[in-house]
Amino acid sequence: MDEALLRSLTPSVIGILVRRGADFAAAEDAVQDALVEAVRVWPDDPPRDPKGWLVTVAWRKFLDAARADTSRRHREVLVESEPVPGPAEMADDTLQLYFLCAHPSLTPASAVALTLRAVGGLTTRQIAQAYLVPEATMAQRISRAKRTVSSVGFNRPGDVATVLRVLYLVFNEGYGGDVDLAAEAIRLTRHLVALTDEPEVAGLLALMLLHHARRESRTGPGGRLVPLAEQDRSRWDTGLITEGVTILQAALARDRLGEYQAQGAIAALHADAPSTSETDWVQIVEWYDELLLLTDSPVARLNRAVAVGEADGPRAGLAALAEVDPDLPRYTAVTAYLQERAGDLEHAAELYAEASRAATSVPERDHLTREAARVRQLLRP
């Protein structure tokens, strides 16, 4: 059984059913039932046209459900409209399905879950395991999302920017259970690149690849967090870096700069440097300036302060930090780092300890606790 093939066919089959008149929730349920049937039947009797087989079976599943829930007249109309089995329709509605799953009326969490289910072809159990929540909780989230988008017109123009935000949220969740969400986000974004001609889509793919290239070096034994300056760069995936840089350069050459291309340029400069000290921090600051013109993101402003501290010295970094909201996550940790580099070790130790108490994850808390202890050790005679 080719699970990858089933997952790749899922979005286009759902799209065909929706275009035929099924509402989104019913179409998605019917396709999931057809996938279960495929797992049962295909090993002994593989179809010549897998997509056509799935469309035919899913449409019949949809009709069966409709017959149980609608009036006799409506049932007759649906039965009369059943297409003759044959080759699957060639139109690809996958792009519209991306837009539908990332509809602005959904919360980010619901949009992510629905995208993984309908476009990614993952099961509810897999998604629940990846997000470390009970399967029943995830099933309710997906059901609510399906009901919300069922009334949305399938042919309405979609917002690529919203789709990209959802895919980036998936990527940033990392991995858990038996599903690697970062790899899944890259797969879905590759698919989206093939469906669109938007440089920002390519920019997001490049950004994901450049970040993913450093994944193996980000943690040590026991899940210990390893900051960028201490990472073993020989463990970075040069193949992914080369691919990411190539994709990014092609996107930038189109002269339609967007936030993901700017972030990708920053990631590329980090990936290109042999060490932290040899990084082109001046150019990174310039790219953060471009990013702030595009988004005015508080997180970008915080990261820019770090880059300024590396390019122009810790005092300049602290001055840049004065423009950042102190309530922002990581603000205290960044301040501690810049204060340490400026020579105020006592204040830095206090700030590292304060940041550790506010950390949102165990690896981050442990890392900041170790930093506080390390700086206090430097203060001893």
Residue 133 domain flag: yes
Q: How many CA atoms lie within 13 A of 233 on its CB side?
A: 14
Residue 143 domain flag: yes
Residue 116 domain flag: yes
pLDDT band at 175 (very low <50, low <70, confident <90, very high): low
Q: Are residues 87 and 102 in the same domain?
A: no
Question: What pLDDT score was predicted for residue 295?
Answer: 93
Residue 343 domain flag: yes
Following CA atoms 13, 16, 22, 24 in sequence, which dihedral angle do they give, to the nearest 10 degrees? 60
**Looking at residues 234-263, what average pLDDT do you find?**
96
Among 115, 139, 166, residue at a domain's last position: 166
Q: Are residues 133 and 156 in the same domain?
A: yes
d(CA 278, CA 184): 33
Residue 381 domain flag: yes
- The tally of domains found in the chain comes to 3
pLDDT band at 76 (very low <50, low <70, confident <90, very high): very low
The three-state secondary structure class of 40 is helix
End-to-end CA distance of the chain: 67
d(CA 193, CA 204): 9
Of all residues in the chain, the percent with pLDDT exceeding 70 is 90
Question: What does the pLDDT look like over 182-232, one tens digit per residue?
Answer: 888 898 899 899 888 899 999 999 999 999 999 999 989 888 999 999 999
Residue 77 domain flag: yes
Question: What does the pLDDT look like over 277-289, one tens digit per residue?
Answer: 999 999 999 999 9
Question: What pLDDT score was predicted for residue 94?
Answer: 76
Residue 28 domain flag: yes
Among 166, 190, 209, residue at a domain's last position: 166
pLDDT band at 87 (very low <50, low <70, confident <90, very high): very low
Of 101-110, 233-242, 262-271, 336-345, least confident by mean pLDDT is 101-110
Here the CATH number for the domain that contains residue 148 is: 1.10.10
DSSP per-residue letters across 44-63: TS--SSHHHHHHHHHHHHHH
Residue 201 domain flag: no
Q: Are residues 86 and 100 in the same domain?
A: no
Strands 179-180 and 175-176: antiparallel
Parent domain of 29: 3-92
Q: Are residues 83 and 19 in the same domain?
A: yes
Among 132, 166, 200, residue at a domain's last position: 166
Question: What pLDDT score was predicted for residue 72?
Answer: 43
Q: Are residues 113 and 70 in the same domain?
A: no
Alpha-carbon torsion (63, 66, 72, 76), positive or negative: negative
Q: Are residues 138 and 158 in the same domain?
A: yes
What pTM value is reported for the model? 0.80
Q: Are residues 87 and 98 in the same domain?
A: no
Is residue 178's pLDDT more than 70?
no
